[in-house]
Amino acid sequence: MIPVKDARERILERFLALPAERVDIFSALGRVLTEEVIAPFDIPPHDNSAMDGYAVRSADLHGASPETPVMLRVVEALPAGYVSAHTLQTGEAIRIMTGAPIPDGADAIIRVEDTQKDGERVAIFVERPPRFDLRSAGEDVRRGDVVLEKGRTLRPAEIGLLASLGRSFVSVHQRPRMAILATGDELVEVDAPLLPGKIINANSYSLAALTLECGAIPLMLDIARDTKADLEGKLAQAARADLILTSGGVSMGDFDFVKEMLQQSGSEMHFWQVCMKPGKPLAFGSIAGTPLVGLPGNPVSSMVSFEMFVRPALLKMMGHAQIFRTVVSAQLTSDYRKRDERKHFVRVVLCQQEGVNLATLTGEQGSGILSSMAKANGLAVIDESRQLVRTGETVPVMLLDSSLSMSAEREF
């Protein structure tokens, strides 16, 4: 067996970021830029009004107050999207809407609530300095600025910014395609009759969902039966993928062929046991140059192994800088005792009480109890050397729910 950290490092060193592709900006959400985005023009492109009100000359407002208003003649009404052809003169005002370009001659905006319309004139009740409530051209973005740098992950704000720059397409790292293959004669598909001795293939769906969650593309293959010929045929179908992910067939059974195939000519075998629980049996290698990760068949083992090894590899292929889950410290709410010297990943529910992070086990921790994984929003990490964690003692917890508002403290 090798340590989790060593296994992860040996897997990750085999992966590089995928090449760039050009996609529309809506499809770019969550993707990583491979180009610098440079502003072709100022945003906003011109001085404009920050408020609905009146464009005026600030010099005309000397002495204005509620008791002694200044009266100005309204010469025009200017909605957003239009440019005034009038140059404002002494004693004049232009009714203006938010976002409309500032007319020539005007240098301030008076909010409508500080005025009172009187026929063709308007009473101004306040003095204002030059450039009051004006938004300057280029105050958001200036022409020639590097607005978004290479390596930036595009969130909704970045998508809106690209649109404001007139960019409908952008260059981002490709999304990896991952072939997902469940193995075993005992498996049936979701909508097939559940005959004696059979179980439904849940692994392919949980692994595909995890793949989608991190932004990659799952390619789901039919179940591979426990024969070398069927497994070879299914793996041949996976040749178009960037990564092959199997579940089952990497343990010590008579029909566990994935490990054996990785040792054949044309394939490469790196390791197949990791010092962790759940998830001890793990294969990593390549077939005809395509990387393959063989996960255990038990559903929780499969998902935990994905989190440890596959998710970081997929994120690295997509160009992300942050490829690991957030880890926080939390106090266990019950004792936890180990019977071996492996690193344990314990399913827990995290919450905060009076500013303290608490981690409560979701129940039985067997590797086949998928319902305990569904209840969990974190994995408590119990190091190899730690045999007993008592109630109230602190452990690192890897967050499985990105919506949890807990600050990161360290990585394990």
Decide if 155 is inside a domain. yes
Give the pLDDT confidence score for residue 261 in this predicted structure. 65
Residues 148 and 26 in one domain: yes
Residues 194 and 165 in one domain: no
Lowest-pLDDT range, 11-15, 44-48, 186-190?
186-190
**Residue 330 confidence (pLDDT) above 90:** yes
Residues 35 and 109 in one domain: no
pTM value is 0.88
Give the pLDDT confidence score for residue 412 in this predicted structure. 55
Tell me the pLDDT tens digit for each residue of 275-287: 999 999 998 988 8
Give the pLDDT confidence score for residue 41 in this predicted structure. 97
Using the 3D structure, point to which of 267, 297, 317 is the last residue of a domain.
317
User: Per-residue confidence at 406, pLDDT binned at 50, 70, 90?
Assistant: low
Decide if 359 is inside a domain. yes
Decide if 411 is inside a domain. no
Residues 355 and 372 in one domain: yes
Contact residues for 380 (Cβ-Cβ < 8 A; gap 6+): 330, 332, 336, 344, 345, 346, 347, 348, 359, 395, 396, 397
Average pLDDT of the segment spanning 5-33: 96
Cis amide prior to 396 (ω within 30 degrees) = no
Decide if 257 is inside a domain. yes
The domain that holds 64 is classified in CATH as 2.170.190.11
What domain count does the chain have?
4
Structure tokens belonging to residue 280: 């001890």
**Residue 17 confidence (pLDDT) above 60:** yes
Give the pLDDT confidence score for residue 255 in this predicted structure. 45
The domain that holds 357 is classified in CATH as 2.40.340.10
Residues 115 and 57 in one domain: yes
Residues 148 and 131 in one domain: no
Give the pLDDT confidence score for residue 54 in this predicted structure. 98
Give the pLDDT confidence score for residue 327 in this predicted structure. 95
Q: How far apart are CA 238 and CA 337, in angstroms?
A: 41
**Residue 410 confidence (pLDDT) above 70:** no
DSSP string covering 242-271, please? SEEEEES--SSSTT-HHHHHHTSTTEEEEE
Angle CA 284–271–198, to nearest 5: 60
Beta-strand relationship, 92-96 and 70-78: parallel
Average pLDDT of the segment spanning 120-132: 97
Lowest-pLDDT range, 76-80, 113-117, 308-312, 365-369?
365-369
Decide if 228 is inside a domain. yes
Residues 293 and 305 in one domain: yes
Q: How far apart are CA 204 and CA 239, in angstroms?
A: 18
Average pLDDT of the segment spanning 119-141: 97
Tell me the pLDDT tens digit for each residue of 288-302: 889 999 899 999 999
**Residue 269 confidence (pLDDT) above 70:** no
**Residue 172 confidence (pLDDT) above 80:** yes
User: Per-residue confidence at 239, pLDDT binned at 50, 70, 90?
Assistant: confident
Q: Which residue has the higher pLDDT, 397 or 237?
A: 397
**Residue 187 confidence (pLDDT) above 60:** yes
Using the 3D structure, point to which of 290, 317, 344 is the last residue of a domain.
317
Decide if 197 is inside a domain. yes
Decide if 185 is inside a domain. yes
Residues 155 and 169 in one domain: yes
Decide if 409 is inside a domain. no
Arithmetic mean of pLDDT over the chain: 92
Beta-strand relationship, 343-353 and 276-277: parallel
Could you tell me the residue range of the domain that residue 169 belongs to?
20-43+139-173
Residues 116 and 249 in one domain: no
Residues 181 and 313 in one domain: yes
Give the pLDDT confidence score for residue 253 in this predicted structure. 55
Give the pLDDT confidence score for residue 248 in this predicted structure. 84
Average pLDDT of the segment spanning 158-173: 97
**Residue 247 confidence (pLDDT) above 70:** yes
Residues 242 and 265 in one domain: yes
Q: Residue 51: CA atoms inside 13 Å, Cβ hemisphere, count?
A: 16
Using the 3D structure, point to which of 135, 158, 188 is the last residue of a domain.
135
Cis amide prior to 278 (ω within 30 degrees) = yes
Residues 35 and 147 in one domain: yes
Tell me the pLDDT tens digit for each residue of 351-371: 999 999 999 999 999 999 999
User: Per-residue confidence at 254, pLDDT binned at 50, 70, 90?
Assistant: very low
The domain that holds 30 is classified in CATH as 3.90.105.10
Average pLDDT of the segment spanning 19-46: 97
